[in-house]
């Protein structure tokens, strides 16, 4: 049964088919973080993928020598804002996983500052995810996850871990930081998978 709200007509209707249910458009780039913004110098930065047998790692210099892709995409935050047509540059996870050998199907993204979030491996491959270091033609600002963040735009944006430093392969799905604190394990915006 739907209960209508007396006296409410709504004014911000975004009848846009690119907008998932329950989202509204923003022109800003709001921030969702749980603590202070870590400052990481690119000289100190490292990205690793650790599997059941091996650890693969890239320095900033090695990382910047990889093929770089331009990414145009919509992003959707669980706090209900969406931003359409954002532009990024980054390295595809397909590139990073090209020589990685693993039988595990789940990953935990780890960030500088201690943040974690879980993403199934298949959601990171086949052109669906990047490690992004530029937004709108500028180096990614620390507030938005610079020097580099995970970009998994088909899931709610908390999955796109800021200040990412590595991916840990896992044999089964485990909850990350927000997933332990009330957010959904998977987080598909089109299914409104916001909370437990």
Residue 44: closest CA among 55, 60, 57: 60
State whether residue 27 is helix, strand or coil. coil
Task: Please report whether residue 36 would count as binding other proteins according to CB under 8 A.
Answer: yes
Answer yes or no: are the C-beta atoms of 104 and 171 closer than 8 Å: yes
Q: Which one of 9, 53, 103, 172 is in contact with other proteins (CB under 8 A)?
A: 9
CB closer to other proteins out of 128 and 141 = 141
Task: Please report whether residue 16 would count as binding other proteins according to CB under 8 A.
Answer: no
Task: Please report whether residue 182 would count as binding other proteins according to CB under 8 A.
Answer: yes
Contacts of 142 (CB under 8 A, 6+ apart): 37, 38, 39, 40, 163
Site for other proteins in 63-102 (CB under 8 A): 79-80
Q: Which one of 24, 87, 101, 126 is in contact with other proteins (CB under 8 A)?
A: 24
Phi, then psi, of 87 in degrees rounded to 5? -125, 135
Q: Which stretch binds other proteins (CB under 8 A): 10-18, 91-99, 123-131, 159-167?
A: 10-18
Residue 125: closest CA among 90, 160, 156, 94: 94
Alpha helices (runs of H) in 1-92, residue ranges in sequence order: 60-64
Minimal distance in Å, beta carbon 36 to other proteins? 4
Note the residues at the interface with other proteins (CB under 8 A).
Answer: 2-13, 22, 24, 26, 28-38, 79-80, 113-114, 143, 177-178, 180-182, 195
């Amino acid at each position: 049964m739907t209960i209508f709200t007396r006296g409410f007509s709504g004014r911000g209707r975004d009848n846009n088919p690119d907008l998932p249910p329950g989202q509204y458009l923003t022109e800003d780039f709001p921030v969702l973080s749980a603590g202070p913004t870590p400052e990481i110098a690119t000289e100190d930065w490292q990205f690793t993928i650790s599997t059941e047998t091996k650890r693969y790692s890239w320095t900033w210099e090695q990382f910047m020598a990889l093929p770089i892709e331009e990414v145009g995409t919509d992003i959707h935050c669980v706090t209900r804002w969406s931003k359409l047509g954002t532009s990024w540059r980054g390295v595809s996870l397909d590139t990073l996983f090209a020589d990685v050998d693993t039988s595990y199907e789940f990953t935990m993204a780890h960030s500088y500052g201690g943040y974690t979030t879980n993403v199934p491996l298949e959601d990171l491959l086949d052109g669906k995810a990047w490690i992004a270091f530029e937004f709108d033609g500028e180096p990614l600002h620390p507030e938005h996850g610079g020097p580099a963040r995970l970009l998994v735009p088909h899931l709610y944006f908390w999955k796109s871990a800021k200040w990412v430093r590595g991916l840990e392969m896992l044999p089964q799905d485990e909850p990350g930081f927000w997933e332990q604190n009330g957010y959904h394990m998977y987080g598909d915006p089109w299914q409104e998978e916001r909370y437990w």
